[in-house]
Amino acid sequence: MAKHNSIRVDSMNNIYNSLYARSTLFSFKKVVFAPIESDIISPMCATIISAPASAIVVCGVEVIAVGGHRSGVAKMNTMEGVVLKLPYSFRIIKPNPNRTNRTFRTVSLASASVTVASPDPILGPGSLGHLTRPDFPILHQEVNGKRLVYLDNAATSQKPTAVLRALQKYYEAWNSNVHRGIHFLSAKATDEYELARHKVANFINASDSREIVFTRNATEAINLVAYSWGLSNLKAGDEVILSIAEHHSAIVPWQFVAQKTGAILKFVSLTDNEVPDIGKLREMLSKKTKLVVVHHVSNVLASVLPINQIVSWAHDVGAKVLVDACQSVPHMVVDVKNLDADFLVASSHKMCGPTGIGFLYGKSELLSAMPPFLGGGEMIADVFLDHSTFAEPPSRFEAGTPAIGEAIGLGAAIDYLSGIGMQNIHDYEVELANYLYDSLQSVPKIRVYGPAPSQTVDRAALCSFNVEDVHPTDLATFLDQQHSIAIRSGHHCAQPLHRYLGINASARASLHFYNTKEDVDDFIRGLKDTRLPAARVSKTAFFGTLHQLNRLSSLFAVNVPKTKKTYCKSKECKKHTLHKVTQYKKGKDSLAAQGKRRYDRKQSGYGGQTKPVFHKKAKTTKKIVLRLQCQGCKHVSQHPIKRCKHFEIGGDKKGKGTSLF
């Protein structure tokens, strides 16, 4: 976007509904608002604040102050130098010559002076989450008849319209290969692709865009370092230090390298606060240490590590540092110059960008000394029959046709995040994360993993937890089917960490800036419903055949095979007389506990998800007995359910069962 000395906006819709990449507001010296009419007041989203030296000055007639005056319009007679802190920047529009009856006024920065007292809390109706949520089309839908609450952002983030349109525009207007053609489409695609690289470099404050290598994802970026740098620089007896809280993608590649080179992998355990023990890490460092592989933010514990300290200690013994920043780059300011890390990896899909692309940052001198990772087109300088020479980085590590559209989409995502401001995102998420953590403490029999937030301990915007007697997969399924809340269950690609904690799996709720306090409240309400209070257990339910079961008010379903008959068998009564369920189980206050272990579970390596495996002759570990009473002759009988291959929370596997729900 070109820089102008002033900008005119004749409708607040141009701000609120801006769909293109946002550039910073602070590139403008003046902003001019048309007199605001009633038809354009409501969508305006702005907070009136005290005027800082670098603020944008706006003048007009009336201004909605979502942050300052929730009840309506903040009317100001003079309106000289009203300062608006907008969450967006906006499109430049040309003056409308047909609207000549309007007058406009501008003021300088020096005259800004308006202050509004008692602003709304950061999580209030004018919060960043409320303001940005309209930009994400996927969030405007209902799932199972309820509003979607998406709390699986640590797995992947949702995409704003700006990113979707950037992808569409590329495929509609510029689709071509890069670095290979001289025609217009190829040149345009190449320019946009390389522009995305520059945006990534600026986003993390790299010295040069040539220090950014595009990869398929962060996993490939780590493998690139492992096979290119690791195999070239590690030998038998050398040590690589990791923590037990690392993602599988940061562990498995170095296991391969260690097997090939004879290098030794050493792992740092956790403190009593369930944070990787950086004190022990420092003790492990020695002249044998060649590399430290460490996460910036744990995808399970939510701990934020002091990378600056770790890098300094590692460099003191001559070791390099690889930082897994997948959970930090989308949520906070990451400055590679300040961190001084040798390598850093991140993934587009976690930062509101497309899937299928990530990036590796590497210091120029390290990348220049590393051999290629993959062979093919574009990564070569010259190819002969008996040997080849290779291009300079980053081309050396980008063999074949790259993910062009995805790179352009990543660039659009960076524009979007930059327009909001990473510090603004971080500050908002800290407040929302603390609210989530505090709210979870009100849930009975819950265990939250990781450190408690405090002034000395940083905690990211995610919480991994378990509820007693409820398997995390059952919990996640229940929240999805009954409350339309999306969370993650499984080991989150961190099995060593879960074993260290003494568990097989956990549930995880993770936030992003487009989440709101209401999302957290809905989640907590759903979570509390997993415990079935005695007052909510239905003691009776009438049904004829199992094809016509009425719903119990219980929260979890038990499916009964349709082949069972439920009519009365007494001699005094006619068949098909209605029955009444007077009791279905004794002892447990939660149907989740009753349903526990009714089907075998198998850990699948894909994504760490715990999946049920149904067997033809699978039997329950505990029987469920339906005690029946005939409505005609009052004959009492029991209906035992001994097999449960059709059992599944909220429904059966293949439609062969009927839910008592």
Q: Catalytic residues, which ones?
A: 493
Q: Which helix (H) or strand (E) holds 407?
A: helix 404-420
Q: What phi and psi values does residue 390 have, to the nearest 5 degrees? A: -120, 155
The neighbouring-strand residues paired with 640 are 625
Pairing relation of β-strands 488-490 and 506-510? Answer: antiparallel
Phi and psi based region of residue 318 (left: phi greater than 0; alpha: psi -120 to 50; beta: remaining): left
Q: For residue 626, list its beta bridge partners.
A: 639
Q: Which residues pair with 270 in a beta bridge?
A: 276
Contact 317, 284 (CB under 8 A): no
Sign of the Cα pseudo-torsion (297, 303, 308, 310, in order): negative
| Distance (Å, whole) CA 325 – CA 557 | 41
Rounded (10°) CA dihedral 178, 180, 186, 188: 60
Residue 76 gets which letter from DSSP?
A: -
- Residues of 264-294 as b/e, b for ≥16 C-beta within 10 angstroms? eebbbebeeebbbbbebbeebbeebbbbbbb
Return the residue matching tokens 């040309």: 94
- Torsion sign, CA atoms 110, 112, 117, 122: negative
Question: Residue 152: in which H helix or E strand, if any?
Answer: none
d(CA 282, CA 603) in angstroms, rounded, equals: 35
| Local structure of residue 218 (DSSP, 8 states) | H
Instruction: Give the separation between CA 355 and CA 360, rounded to whole angstroms.
Output: 15
CA distance 485 to 482: 8
* Cis geometry, peptide bond prior to residue 393 (ω within 30 degrees of 0): no
Alpha helices in 141-235 (DSSP H): 161-169, 184-203, 218-224, 231-233
Question: Tokens representing 488?
Answer: 């993650």
Token pair of 13, please?
């819709």
Q: Can you tell me whether residue 292 is helix, strand or coil?
A: strand
